[in-house]
Structure 1
């Protein structure tokens, strides 16, 4: 029984130590991206182009431009340039959680709010 426990623990340790969370954030700093999410049975699609200091989003035919402020290689703020309401003027904080060759998983929340949202953006092209 003792040898079984040792083998089991060795397998668990080896499996856990081989897991890596890739975060090549610099590859996703700029470019053209798409983020798709399902909400209420409907597929919603946002496309956006991000440069070092601007992000232009298109969602359901509406174009919105925001400033980009980089906190570090994997975290940034999106700050609306021309908000129509006080609620729209809040910044959004983004953080890349992991990356693949052509996409990144992220979390984001609105400044001053506790709720965290998650998504995956796919890179369509470089800047």
Structure 2
């Protein structure tokens, strides 16, 4: 009986798919917070269908968005100021809630992925 219970739990968990209403996050104003050197840093960004404008530490960066599908896109910086600024980023929304989404991101061509969470602050 115990084996049967374990099998049922494993089957149920393997069938779980996180909610992904990515269309809700294609447009709007968002914030992203992360710990940087022990300090909580915040980035604000506005996204329309083809551009993303980010503000971090009073610096503004604009990137072109190329949608791969409803939940994945590539960010390409429009005005890079250094070699590090010119890398394209692959963004993938992996789950959503009513006003936030969890995403994975990496430099295009690199295998190391990071995870973040963005909150929609305005439609």
TM-score (norm 2): 0.91
Matches within 5 A, 1:35-50: 35-50=32-47
Instruction: Kindly tell me the number of residue pairs found equivalent between the two proteins.
Output: 123
Matches of 1:116 and 1:8 in 2, distance apart? 32
Structure with max Cα Rg: 1
Partner of 1:7: 5
1:65 deviation in Å?
Answer: 0.8
Tell me: CA distance 1:8–1:29, structure 2 relative to 1, closer, same or farther (3 Å).
same
Give the CA deviation at 1:7.
3.4
State the distance in 1 between where 2:89 and 2:59 align: 18
Tell me how far apart the structure 1 counterparts of residues 14 and 89 of structure 2 sit (CA, whole Å). 34
Q: Using the alignment, how far apart are the partners of 1:16 and 1:67 within structure 2?
A: 37
In structure 1, the residue matched to 2:84 is 87
- The 5 A counterparts of 1:1-127 are 3-10=1-8, 12-13=9-10, 15-16=12-13, 19-126=16-123
What TM-score do you get using the length of structure 1 for normalisation? 0.88
**What is the alpha-carbon distance in structure 2 between the residues aligned to residue 14 and residue 82 of structure 1?**
49
Gapped regions of structure 2 (runs ≥ 5): none
When the two chains are superposed, the root-mean-square deviation of aligned CA atoms in Å is 1.6
Structure 1 unaligned blocks of 5 or more: none
SS in 2 for 1:85: coil
Runs of 4+ off more than 6 Å: none
Per the alignment, do residues 9 and 44 of structure 1 end up closer, same or farther by CA in structure 2, a change over 3 Å counting? same
What displacement does 1:86 show? Answer: 2.8
